[in-house]
Amino acid sequence: MSDELRFKRVVLKLSGEVLQGEKDYGVSALMIDSIAGQIAEISNLGAQVTVVIGGGNIFRGLPASRLGIDRADADYMGMMATVINGLALKDALGRLDAKPRLFSALAIEAITEPFTREKAIDHLLAGGINIAVAGTGRPFFTTDTAAALRGLETKADALLKATKVDGVYDSDPEINPDAIRFGRLTHIEALKRDLRIMDLTATSLCRDNDLPVVVFDIRKEGNLKQVVQGAKIGTLISGGNDND
């Protein structure tokens, strides 16, 4: 496959669970180095990347709220977990001379800078990589919604949802060995089937603004490069107007 890019400006949504690799908790050094290497690789090919990170490998707000923690406080705790992950990825990318820049939706002046659309786009145009942490900066919203928002704000060509599975299935493949993987869906189909690829707000934002979503397994080296080059890897979710 040539190095020509189908998706030149992307938002890469990384879940915290992906970052923990085979560990039960926290960040796997091997996994984060692998992901950083894949991101640096596509950046060197000319892709403009904004990474939005979850924090589920450290703390999840919604389950914590069910244990009695105030929901807003629990969500802010989850946002802080994404900052830890963002710092780990920034360090890994920095060791590859990939020009990472850490933006936060919360004010944490000592280690991050506030996310602004103008600064983020300028950094992309200068060949840098954005890392966006702290979600939307507001409780009751997921990092999936934050990824959709950052994608729209930076005028991304696609939202790439990096997961531990190789696409979207009609049921949980870890439970049902006969689960069927979709090669392609429309946003409407994803919503109607209630496939829980992302939360409803994120999926609706992508649908309303015609932002394609690709769900793929980032644990396999080279998959990210192939996705931005247009290989049929994972599941493509779009408005149905793409002729490819």
> Average pLDDT per run of 10 along the chain, which is 244 residues long?
82 95 93 97 98 93 80 93 97 98 96 97 98 97 97 98 93 90 95 90 96 96 96 90 44
Taking only the tens place, the pLDDT of each residue in 180-224 is: 999 999 999 999 998 888 999 999 999 999 999 999 999 999 999
- SS3 for 181? strand
How many other C-beta atoms can be found within 10 angstroms of the C-beta atom of residue 243? 3
156/49 Cα distance (integer angstroms) = 9
The answer as to whether 243 is a domain residue is: no
Block residue for tokens 């049902």: 176
Are 13 and 52 within 8 A, CB to CB? yes
Helix H segments across the chain? 16-19, 29-44, 61-66, 71-94, 117-125, 143-153, 187-192, 200-208, 223-228
The answer as to whether 90 is a domain residue is: yes
- State the total domains in the chain: 1
The answer as to whether 41 is a domain residue is: yes
234: nearest Cα among 219, 222, 216 = 216
The pLDDT assigned to 241 comes to: 47
The helix or strand, by DSSP H or E, that contains position 98, with its residue range, turns out to be none
User: Domain holding 117: CATH number?
Assistant: 3.40.1160.10
Are 112 and 90 within 8 A, CB to CB? no
The answer as to whether 121 is a domain residue is: yes
What domain range is 108 assigned to?
9-238
The pLDDT assigned to 62 comes to: 72
The answer as to whether 42 is a domain residue is: yes
The answer as to whether 144 is a domain residue is: yes
Taking only the tens place, the pLDDT of each residue in 73-94 is: 999 999 999 999 999 999 999 9
